[in-house]
Amino acid sequence: MAETKSMEKIVNLAKTRGFIYPSSEIYGGLSAAYDYGPLGVELKNNIKAAWWKKFVTERPDMVGLDAAIIMNPKVWEASGHLQNFSDPLVDCKSCHKRWREDHLLEDKAIKPKYDKARPHDPRELHCPECGGELTPVRQFNLMLKTFLGPIEDTSGIAYLRPETAGGIFVNFKNVVDSMRLKVPFGIGQIGKAFRNEITTENFIFRTREFEQFEIEYFIREKDWKKSFDQWLSVMREWCLFLGLDKKDLIEHEIEDKDRAFYSKRTIDFEYKFPFGQSELYGLAYRTDYDLKQHQQFSGQDLSYTDPVTKEKFVPHVIEPSLGVDRSFLACLCAAYTEIEGGRSTTTESIKESEVVLKLPYALAPIKVAVLPLSKKEPLADLSQHILLDLKKNFVAVYDETGSIGKRYRRQDEIGTPYCVTVDFESLEDKKVTVRDRDTMVQDRVAITELLVYLKEKFNL
């Protein structure tokens, strides 16, 4: 059984099956903006809920936060985003297309991805689209600016946050004072971030509006190596939980010369997407740089005093930083499975290739589909009762159109782990057939036992 996957097929499935649509499509869309459809929102919510559980609520040393997107602009002065959060931009003098110079260099393998030090001759590069000459490089700030209040003058300038981390640092003192936490502890947040990216590419991989999962884990300086390793293994576990294959994950240790000056260690998690190997997440030891910057710019004391020893210090931080949309995309790419020739044994589908979205069962947008063998009574009535019962516990759907083989394949394509078939015998023996997406094994289960059976399957 050969398997093939491509971005084109994944993007097509995402649109036609209700996972992701181009934003404002009836008006011609908007570059790199996407909307999560009915199945997409379920999958994304499941990923977010699982992250929140694993990284925040399941742990005794973590709390959560939901900070505002628009913050006092001084936050971004202190964090360095206003001065330094920029990408190198070049324009094509002929077709006027804009490019990120570092990406063009990477594509040409002129320098290794992270080697910012190597000087290059701009004449080595040309427009990838038309071969035209490029302008000299200029730095382009990625912060999305807006104005607060009715008058658009400098006093009203504000920014949409470029990362969620800022909201965590500025609430450090509030959380310490209100939650009686002891270092080491961390604050986790899920939320939108905005970057005016020069180039957007590869579906939801790089967009201007996206979501992040971020943690700032506050520690004593002496503990940084131990804490870094702990978060590294939590992130590895998370990648496997998403269904990513170990062989497609690369941990890229960022060399000294390529790290931000305040970071003592950074690892980028990279994933082999169908369009190429690219950054998925980052894990960084950022020393005490951020809290000290905010202490200096705000004039507030952001030190922590140990309640027992009275030792007073500014904590250091380990920062696991993950993208929600990239998690979604990696999960979708890993799950997409096309089986040439199909795996069904029915004659109608034997020759066609079959798509199975092998999402982890816990993440599947729809957990169970109820499929009556007939649209008519009394099967319809019994099936509707089963559906409504299941809906109290699971996201469940009803599908009565087409042959049973076609209906199984429709559910396989969207990753539904279980299909419940209600047949004429069900009226007599009060049992239904439950079919597993991956093994295709079918069990005959009493209707009264169905909920318990499925709960067991989902480890609930």
**Which residues contact ligand GAP (rule: CB under 6 A)?**
163, 165, 195, 197, 206-207, 210, 212, 214, 279-282, 321-323, 325-326
**Shortest Cβ distance from residue 214 to ligand GAP (Å)?**
6
Packed helices 7-16 and 324-335: angle between N→C axes, nearest 10 degrees: 100
Buried b (16+ CB within 10 A) or exposed e, 136-155: ebeebbbbbeeeeeeeeeee
> Given the complex with ligand GAP, which of 126 and 292 has the nearer CB atom?
292
**Shortest Cβ distance from residue 159 to ligand GAP (Å)?**
14
Q: How far apart are CA 223 and CA 68, in angstroms?
A: 31
- Nearest residue by C-beta to ligand GAP? 323
Instruction: Report the candidate in 142, 124, 141 with the shortest Cα–Cα distance to residue 133.
Output: 124
> Given the complex with ligand GAP, which of 210 and 289 has the nearer CB atom?
210
Q: How far apart are CA 237 and CA 239, in angstroms?
A: 6
Yes or no: say if 206 and 33 are a contact pair by the CB < 8 Å rule.
Answer: no
Yes or no: say if 124 and 110 are a contact pair by the CB < 8 Å rule.
Answer: yes
**Shortest Cβ distance from residue 163 to ligand GAP (Å)?**
4
Instruction: Report the candidate in 430, 411, 431 with the shortest Cα–Cα distance to residue 419.
Output: 411
> Given the complex with ligand GAP, which of 271 and 394 has the nearer CB atom?
271
> Given the complex with ligand GAP, which of 36 and 210 has the nearer CB atom?
210
> Given the complex with ligand GAP, which of 260 and 350 has the nearer CB atom?
260
Q: How many CA atoms lie within 13 A of 148 on its CB side?
A: 11
First to last CA, the chain: 33
> Given the complex with ligand GAP, which of 44 and 195 has the nearer CB atom?
195
Q: How far apart are CA 198 and CA 87, in angstroms?
A: 8
Q: How far apart are CA 105 and CA 109, in angstroms?
A: 6
Q: How far apart are CA 394 and CA 366, in angstroms?
A: 8
Q: How far apart are CA 42 and CA 45, in angstroms?
A: 5
Q: How many CA atoms lie within 13 A of 22 on its CB side?
A: 11
DSSP result, 164-179: SHHHHHHTHHHHHHHH
> Given the complex with ligand GAP, which of 42 and 325 has the nearer CB atom?
325
Yes or no: say if 367 and 32 are a contact pair by the CB < 8 Å rule.
Answer: no
Q: How far apart are CA 451 and CA 422, in angstroms?
A: 15
List Cα–Cα distances, 290 to 142, 218, 302, in angstroms: 20, 11, 10
**Shortest Cβ distance from residue 210 to ligand GAP (Å)?**
4
**Shortest Cβ distance from residue 99 to ligand GAP (Å)?**
16
> Given the complex with ligand GAP, which of 235 and 355 has the nearer CB atom?
235
> Given the complex with ligand GAP, which of 326 and 407 has the nearer CB atom?
326
**Shortest Cβ distance from residue 216 to ligand GAP (Å)?**
9
- Cα-flanking dihedrals φ and ψ of residue 448, to 5°? -70, -20
**Shortest Cβ distance from residue 137 to ligand GAP (Å)?**
20
Instruction: Report the candidate in 43, 7, 6 with the shortest Cα–Cα distance to residue 331.
Output: 43
> Given the complex with ligand GAP, which of 164 and 295 has the nearer CB atom?
164
**Shortest Cβ distance from residue 376 to ligand GAP (Å)?**
49
**Shortest Cβ distance from residue 354 to ligand GAP (Å)?**
31
**Shortest Cβ distance from residue 167 to ligand GAP (Å)?**
11
**Shortest Cβ distance from residue 204 to ligand GAP (Å)?**
7
**Shortest Cβ distance from residue 329 to ligand GAP (Å)?**
9
Strands (E) across 156-240 are located at: 157-160, 185-194, 209-219
> Given the complex with ligand GAP, which of 326 and 367 has the nearer CB atom?
326
Q: How far apart are CA 169 and CA 319, in angstroms?
A: 11
> Given the complex with ligand GAP, which of 212 and 421 has the nearer CB atom?
212
The count of residues in the chain is 460
